[in-house]
Structures are given as C-alpha cells and as structure tokens.
Structure 1
Amino acid sequence: MKKLLLLTFALMMVAFLAACGSTSEAGETSASEGTTEKMTVTHELGETEISKNPKNVVVFDYGVLDSLDKLGVEVAGVPQAMVPAYLEKYTDTEKYKNVGTLKEADFEAINAMKPDLIIISGRQAEMYEEFASIAPTIHMAVDTNNYMDSFTENMTLLGEIFGKEEQVKEELATVNTEIEGVKEAVGKSDEKALILLANEGKISAYGPASRFGIIHDVFGVPAADEGIEVSTHGQSVTFEYILDKNPDIIFVVDRNAAVGAGASAKDSLENELVQKTNAFKNGKIIYLDPDYWYMSGGGFESVSAMVKEIQSAYK
C-alpha cells in the first residue's frame, strides 16, 4: 500500500512538472510572437531606431505616400491641405487624420495620435527635432543630384520597413524598364529642351542636377542651356532669355496649378516672344502635371508618370 502511494505521488509530480514545463514554453512562445523587430535607419538628419511593420504611420512626403499607396500600406495621418488629385482619397478626414500642412505641422494632433513612425522630407527638415520628440522620425527625400540611386534607396528602405521587399523589386524593375524606353526615344532626337517653372507670372529655368534635372540627368534630354544656376528655386529668367536660347522643347511646371492659385501659366508664357521659338512653332511646349513634378516626385506612380510625360514629347 505504501509503495502504491509513493508511486501515485511520483506520477502526480511528473504530471505537474510536465504541465509547468508546457506552460513555460507556451509563455516563451507568446512572448516571442509579441516581440517587435527593430531596425536602425540612417538618414540625412541622423540615425533612428524604428519598429518594423509600424501600424500607426504619419507621412509628410507625398512621394512616399504615393509609394506606400502603391504597395498597399495603410497610413494614419497626412497633411491634407494640398494633396495631389491622384491621392485624393487621403483627404477623407474620417479615415485619415489631418496633421497640418507641408510647412506647418499640427504637432498637437500628431502627438495625440501616438504614431509608431513619422516620415518627413525637405519641406519639414527644420522641424525634425519636434517630430522626433513625439515619435521615431526618418527623413526621406530624393537627392536630385543622384536621382535614381536616391529613389531606389528610398523605395528599398520602404520595402524593408513594411515587409514589401519583393513588391518593391518588381516596381523598381518596371520603372527602370520605362526609363530605358524614354532614353531610347530621346536618343533618336537631337532636340534640346528648356525646363521652366511658372509662378505667378514669373519664370525660372532649371537645368542638369537641379530640382527637375531628372529630365536631363536620367532621361538624357539635351539641355538648351548647360549653364543654368542650380538652386531650389531655379534661375530667374526673362522671355527674351527663352527666345535667345530658342529651345526645341519647353517643359513647363505650373506652380500655380499645383497650389491652386493664380492664372494658368499658358496665359502669360505663350506671348509674342515665346511664339518665335522652335518649341512653340513645333507644338512642343509641354505642360507637365504639377501634381507629379512639384508635389509628389520620387514616388512609384509619380516617377512612372514623369517618364511617360517626357516620352510624349518624342512621338
């Protein structure tokens, strides 16, 4: 009887220890499943540790927003004041939080959201410390001096952050194929082009390595003037200058159209002087979509659209 009791007790202890072991293992698995993978992002404004696959994301760059939309990644907040028309769904205040404007962030609203990640670019660079005090913040802007390498790095980084690596590779391959197509078309022509930004009756010219230099540097379009000053706001020029350079093609970015203010650039640009240029005579004054060129450059959809617009000048 005594032996039977001892055996029973021993069996009960074995069962108890086994149960404890199972509970411990389950707890470790649960903890492991709940662990958030971290990564460190080195960007223009510093190094930032972030969590992979963040769910509550605020985006201040419309090119990045464009790409996340293409990748099927949801965001929580965007500046809704001047959202490009093709991204209009992000103006829905019931689905997306309005976090201010590109130049004036609503830090109170952002703080209340408790975001997991904030993505900014050049227009918000001066506010970086304020953003970073709220949540992990990374700066993602396209380097116009090295457009495609910079664009590729940004898109690859988005893939790593949101677990979309393979989709990013496919999208990049598509864009690169489109670029080869426009370069081939450009290579068959000796036409020289001038890039102009029209802003409230004033005009600025942009050349290689400039804000819109992708036209020359990546697509291979010869410049009507190789000596244009490189600056964010372009080189201020006159209509006499345009006639003097006499470009075969004029690409126009209408800032007024982008921000919804002022008259159309065409009203002031196509005057008697400009009508004497080869570009006007050949019907090659191309008005580029300001949503893509001025507001959201550097996104999957915007870069693809930019390629197609330049290629349209060579048909």
Structure 2
Amino acid sequence: MKKKFLAVATISMIALLTLGACGNDSKKTDDSASKESDSKSATTITVKDSNGSIEVPKNPKKVVVFDNGSLDTMDALGVGSTVIGAPTKNLPKYLDSYKKVESAGGIKEPDLEKINQMKPDLIIISGRQQDFQDKLSKIAPTIYLSVDAKDTWNSTKKNIETLAEIFDKKDEAKTKIADLEKEISAVKEKAQASDEKALVVLVNEGQLSAYGKGSRFGIVHDTFGFKQADDKIEASTHGQSVSYEYVLEKNPDILFVVDRTKAIGGDDSNDNVANNELVKQANAGKNGKVISLQPDVWYLSGGGLESTHLMIEDVQKALK
C-alpha cells in the first residue's frame, strides 16, 4: 500500500512539473513573439511618397538611389554612406564622390539583376524609372519622390522631409530647409523688384526648347520669382520647341540656358546660344545676361538640398 501511494505521488509530481514547464515554454514563446513584433514595428515606418503611403525600413543600411535630388539630400543630411548603388554614369559633377558605389544600371533603365544581387533595404526612384517601379518593388521597398512642376519648392521640401523621417534626421533637415528658404526669399525679393523679364531655354545640339511656369524648369519663375518674358509657353516635360527668331521676338532681359548636350554628351558645337546673332540683338545679349546654368544640376538633378542651393547660386548671376 505504501509503495502504491509513493508511485501515485511521484506520477502526480512529474505531471505538475511537466505542466509548469509547458506553461513556462508557452510564456517564453509569447514573450518572444511580442518582442519580435515590437522589433518589427520599431524598424519600419510608414511614409508618403508621390504614389501614397508606403512602409519602408527605418534607418535603412543599404540603399540604391536613382533620384539625384534624393541622393544630394542624403549627402547633405550625412547619410550618404548608406548608398550602395546608383546610376554612376549619369551623376552630376557635384555628386562625383558617389561614382565609387556599384552601378545600378542606366538612369532610365535599372539593372534589375544587379540590384537584386545587392540586396538593398530601400530603393529610391524618380520619374525616369517609374516604369520599373513594380519590378523594383519586388526586390525591396521602392519609393518614388517626384517634384511637382506646379509647386516646385513645396514638393521639394516635402521630399526632403520624407527622407529626413526615414533616416531620423528631422532636426538637421529643418535647419537646412530654413537656411534654403532664407536664400530663396532673398533671390525672390530682388527678382520681383526688378522690371527684367526672363526666359528659360534648353539647347540640345543647336535646337531650342522654351520652358515657363509649371514646367520642368518652372522653379525660376514660381520659386525664385523671375517674371516671364512669355507667359504663353506650353507647360510640358520636354518644353515648347522654339527658334532663335522666337527668342528675339520675345526679347527677354535675362536668358537662362540649360545645355542638355553638355549634361549627357553629344555634339555641342552649335550650343553656344550667347554667340547667336539673333540672341545678341535681344536685351539679354546686349546686356550680357545670357546665363549658362549648370547643365548637370538642372538637367540631371534638382529637387534636393544641395541642388536647390546650386540653382540659387546660378540664378543669382542674373541679379548682379
């Protein structure tokens, strides 16, 4: 009888220990799941890009960047070391230091296989790569940061703030944005106080296109405050095709020139707009105000902290 009692007691004790162990294991599993969930929520963030809301990594360590404006913003915010890939053959001169990173393909045609091998945490694109967004999104979260030609500075500022949120650099971005806004206000005040009217043209192997408000280079008018020599220019990505006779007819006091050929290569022997006989007869030619804008900044970049500052420096030449 005594032996039977001891056997029952032993079995009961084992059962209790087993249940306790199972309970502890269950608790550990629950705790682990909770910690994993907390960790996941702490390492991702939901931001708004040009397409809407998107979940991206917080402080990503490996980033492929196709948008040069975003690249220069990251550089200015001190997070350029996270860039592992870019369209290195199409970088503007002021971003030359990033030619050392892996080539991610052309500026209009990403190398999907190469990017997949890089295993990025985040991919940043502009309008030039928008057709590839779905394919890139299968490799890593892909954000599209565009600049609204009808509201250039505010959309630029929004993109800067989005990147600052992703990389936890809100304070730095706030300071740099404030500095830029002071520069913009100073330029705009002078431009609006002047009676001079400006025209922006892009030259490509001798052919001209004009740009006004709401266009690719509309920042000259809507942000920097220069009056338009022609307020009837059709707003489009590629500009309105015009002639040198048109330039003389509109007779701008300031002629801003973006040389596309110098930005991407080609025959620029006919791109010296200031030397054209008809341009020389216009007010801009007579007064030495045919201003060559930095082509790689204006054509290949824009919409970033550094590029906006460089653009301000360029247009200031017309106000001296």
Scaled by the length of structure 2, the TM-score of the pair is 0.86
**In the alignment, which of 77, 82, 88 is matched to residue 85 of structure 2?**
77
**Deviation of residue 65 (structure 1)?**
0.4
RMSD (Å), alpha carbons:
2.3
Q: Is residue 197 of structure 1 aligned with residue 209 of structure 2?
A: no
Distance 1:28 1:107, change over 3 A: closer
* 1:148-163 aligned within 5 A: 148-163=153-168
Give the aligned residue type for 1:165: K
Scaled by the length of structure 1, the TM-score of the pair is 0.87
1:118-153: per-residue Cα shift (whole Å, max 9, x none)? 000100011111111111111001111111110111
Q: Is residue 64 of structure 1 aligned with residue 65 of structure 2?
A: no
**In the alignment, which of 51, 57, 74 is matched to residue 51 of structure 1?**
57
Q: 8 Å contact 2:69–2:303 — kept in the other structure?
A: yes
More displaced, 260-269 or 179-188? 260-269
CA distance in 2: counterparts of 1:219 and 1:142, whole angstroms: 16
**Deviation of residue 37 (structure 1)?**
2.5
Q: Is residue 252 of structure 1 aligned with residue 257 of structure 2?
A: yes
User: Which residue pairs with 2:245 in the alignment?
Assistant: 240
More displaced, 44-53 or 80-89? 44-53
Q: Secondary structure in 2 aligned to 1:145?
A: coil
Q: Is residue 126 of structure 1 aligned with residue 134 of structure 2?
A: no
Distance 1:127 1:31, change over 3 A: closer
Q: 8 Å contact 2:203–2:260 — kept in the other structure?
A: yes
CA distance in 2: counterparts of 1:310 and 1:267, whole angstroms: 19
User: Which residue pairs with 1:141 in the alignment?
Assistant: 146
Task: Show structure 2 runs of 5+ residues with no match.
Answer: 1-23
Sequence identity percentage: 50
Q: Secondary structure in 1 aligned to 2:255?
A: strand
Tell which structure's C-alpha radius of gyration is larger.
2
Distance 1:265 1:122, change over 3 A: farther
Q: Secondary structure in 2 aligned to 1:286?
A: strand
User: Which residue pairs with 2:224 in the alignment?
Assistant: 219
1:153-191: per-residue Cα shift (whole Å, max 9, x none)? 101111110000000001100100000110122133100
Q: 8 Å contact 2:66–2:86 — kept in the other structure?
A: yes
CA distance in 2: counterparts of 1:188 and 1:44, whole angstroms: 34
More displaced, 185-194 or 217-226? 185-194
More displaced, 216-225 or 256-265? 256-265
CA distance in 1: counterparts of 2:52 and 2:185, whole angstroms: 34
Give the aligned residue type for 1:80: T
Q: Secondary structure in 2 aligned to 1:118?
A: strand
* 1:271-310 aligned within 5 A: 271-310=276-315
More displaced, 30-39 or 188-197? 30-39
Q: 8 Å contact 1:185–1:311 — kept in the other structure?
A: no
Count of aligned pairs: 294
**Deviation of residue 290 (structure 1)?**
1.1
**Deviation of residue 267 (structure 1)?**
2.9
1:245-283: per-residue Cα shift (whole Å, max 9, x none)? 111010000001111222156435522111100100000
CA distance in 2: counterparts of 1:268 and 1:185, whole angstroms: 26
1:82-133: per-residue Cα shift (whole Å, max 9, x none)? 11111111111xxx11100111111001001111110001000111111111
**In the alignment, which of 173, 176, 183 is matched to residue 178 of structure 1?**
183
User: Which residue pairs with 1:91 in the alignment?
Assistant: 99
Q: 8 Å contact 1:78–1:97 — kept in the other structure?
A: yes
Q: Secondary structure in 2 aligned to 1:72?
A: coil
Task: Show structure 1 runs of 5+ residues with no match.
Answer: 1-19
Q: Secondary structure in 1 aligned to 2:124?
A: strand
Q: 8 Å contact 1:257–1:264 — kept in the other structure?
A: no
Q: Secondary structure in 2 aligned to 1:141?
A: coil
Q: 8 Å contact 1:57–1:115 — kept in the other structure?
A: yes
CA distance in 1: counterparts of 2:149 and 2:291, whole angstroms: 21
Q: Secondary structure in 2 aligned to 1:273?
A: helix
CA distance in 1: counterparts of 2:32 and 2:55, whole angstroms: 27
Q: Secondary structure in 1 aligned to 2:46?
A: strand
Give the aligned residue type for 2:43: E
CA distance in 1: counterparts of 2:274 and 2:191, whole angstroms: 25
